[in-house]
Amino acid sequence: MTPAREEILERVRRALAGVPAGESPEDVPVRRGYRRAADVPRQRLLDALADRLRDYGAGVHRVRPGETAATVGRVCEARGSRRVAVPPDLPGGWLPPGLDAVRDRGLTAEELDACDAVLSGCALAVAETGTLVLDCGPGQGRRLLSLVPDHYVCVVRAEQVVGLVPEAIAALREAAERGRPITFVSGPSATSDIELSRVQGVHGPRLLDVLIVE
């Protein structure tokens, strides 16, 4: 028996040490004392989300409700994004004048690829992990919309930010029961699969900007 195999078997034995003879592991209750919610002030959640997003290389912009459109305009100008795909039900007041907005009413992947960026909202965001969650709900559009263009601009309202992943899972129950696609986005798309060299934009947007509307 190899040392690696013996080590694995020993871990299994330790894990099953509390199971009485004749019973299966499924019959033994498991203590699940992990945290299900973050009991911290809202401002700390927003600060944590912003810090995590910056760690991932995303652009973070803290704005007030009336500043959303102007900030979107500045972000797109800085990235060189002029033609922007948006969901059909994008909230009013998010689009600044001067951008070539393309409403997604069944755009093909090729038509989306011709857009410089996409602008949408989200279902919620997780502060601890810096994760944006999309569930194809209001203001988000189809899953394809956020995956094809090279630049993704996402608007997160302060009340959509939760502290921990278990909170997010609980909040997504309705979307899951309805069979809506759910996407978790933690920073710009990136991979190190090829020669361990980090490359962004392989599986989705290469650039990510997040507006946190407080």
Assess contact for 85 and 104: CB atoms under 8 A.
yes
pLDDT at residue 189 greater than cutoff 90: no
168 vs 2: which has the higher pLDDT = 168
Instruction: Please count the other Cβ atoms lying within 10 Å of the Cβ belonging to residue 38.
Output: 18
Tens digits of per-residue pLDDT, 4-26?
899 999 988 887 777 777 667 66
Instruction: Report residue 92's pLDDT band, with 50, 70 and 90 as the boundaries.
Output: confident
Structural domain includes residue 82: yes
Residue 206 in domain: yes
Q: Which domain holds residue 171?
A: 37-213
Q: Is the pLDDT of residue 193 over 70?
A: no
Q: Is residue 21 part of a domain?
A: no
**Ranges of H-type helices in the chain:** 3-15, 42-55, 68-79, 109-113, 165-171, 173-177
Residues 6 or more apart whose CB falls under 8 angstroms from that of 1 comprise none
What is d(CA 119, CA 145) in angstroms, rounded to the nearest whole number?
9
> Is residue 63 within 8 Å of 212, Cβ to Cβ?
yes
Q: How many domains does the chain fold into?
A: 1
CATH code of the domain containing 192: 3.40.50.10420
pLDDT, tens digit, 9 for 90 and up, residues 33-60: 778 888 889 999 999 999 999 999 999 9
